[in-house]
Copies of this chain bind each other. A is one copy, B any other.
Amino acid sequence: MKVEKISELTTNRLSVYLRCLNELLAEGKRTVSSDKLAERFHLNSAQIRKDLACFGEFGVRGVGYYVEDLRDHLQKILGLDKNHRVGIIGAGRLGTALADYYGFTQTNFDVVALFDNDKGKIGQRIGDVDVFAFKNFAKVAKKDKIDVAVIAVPAQFAQSVLEEVTKSGIKAVMNFAPTPLRVHDGVKLKTIDLTISLESLSYFLSHVNNINGNN
């Protein structure tokens, strides 16, 4: 199954281009060259041309790209013309914050359910979203047509939660637990490990301080 025809680094860059094009559109710009796009958003113009060339001929000589056309193309390539329904497992602070996260509504993802094991949380309503018992995940996922799971539970429970959700047929999972997880083939897992980012800041600070004498 050749699902990943282009690399994730490429799709990440397409996401960035899409954001820039939306900004230009909001300003009423109709065309943009790869050089202008690169200059304005601190990107690499050769990389832009290379990335977009993978998907056909978007540029017009002497004009550049038509902003709206290119935006529509990128949305289609990224599958943003279809909606996805998200179930968040873990109705703690992070899970409930994510249920309300503006990034989901900005894209094509709707959070439709929260899941937890805590009887005090099950049956509650957080914003527009109900909290269900996690043991009923498969049933609720089927009924509510959930196709994306977000794992927001402590690290030690993350792998078993992942097993359960993929058993119920979920193929796309976003994991916030700071631990590496193992997935089966055909399932896409994105781990958002904030501690890795924090440690990279820590490394930077420790070397800045060594050089500047603890400034």
Partner-B contacts on A (CB < 8 A): 1-5, 8, 11-12, 14-16, 18-20, 41-42, 77-80, 82, 84, 93-94, 96-98, 100-104, 106-109, 147-148, 154, 171-172, 174, 178-180, 182, 186, 188, 190, 192-209, 211-212
A93 touches B100 (CB 8 A): yes
Bound form: Cα–Cα A206–B82 in Å? 8
A103: which B residues are within 8 A, CB to CB?
178, 193-195, 198
B205 touches A84 (CB 8 A): yes
B12 touches A196 (CB 8 A): yes
A20: which B residues are within 8 A, CB to CB?
180
B182 touches A192 (CB 8 A): no
Q: Nearest B residue to A147 by beta-carbon distance?
A: B205
Bound form: Cα–Cα A11–B12 in Å? 20
Given A3-B207, A94-B101, A103-B178, verify A78-B199 contact (CB < 8 Å).
yes
Q: Nearest B residue to A8 by beta-carbon distance?
A: B200
B202 touches A107 (CB 8 A): yes
B16 touches A180 (CB 8 A): yes
A78 touches B4 (CB 8 A): no
A79: which B residues are within 8 A, CB to CB?
202-203, 205-207
Bound form: Cα–Cα A138–B168 in Å? 50
A192: which B residues are within 8 A, CB to CB?
192, 194, 197
B80 touches A199 (CB 8 A): yes
A93: which B residues are within 8 A, CB to CB?
96-97, 100-101
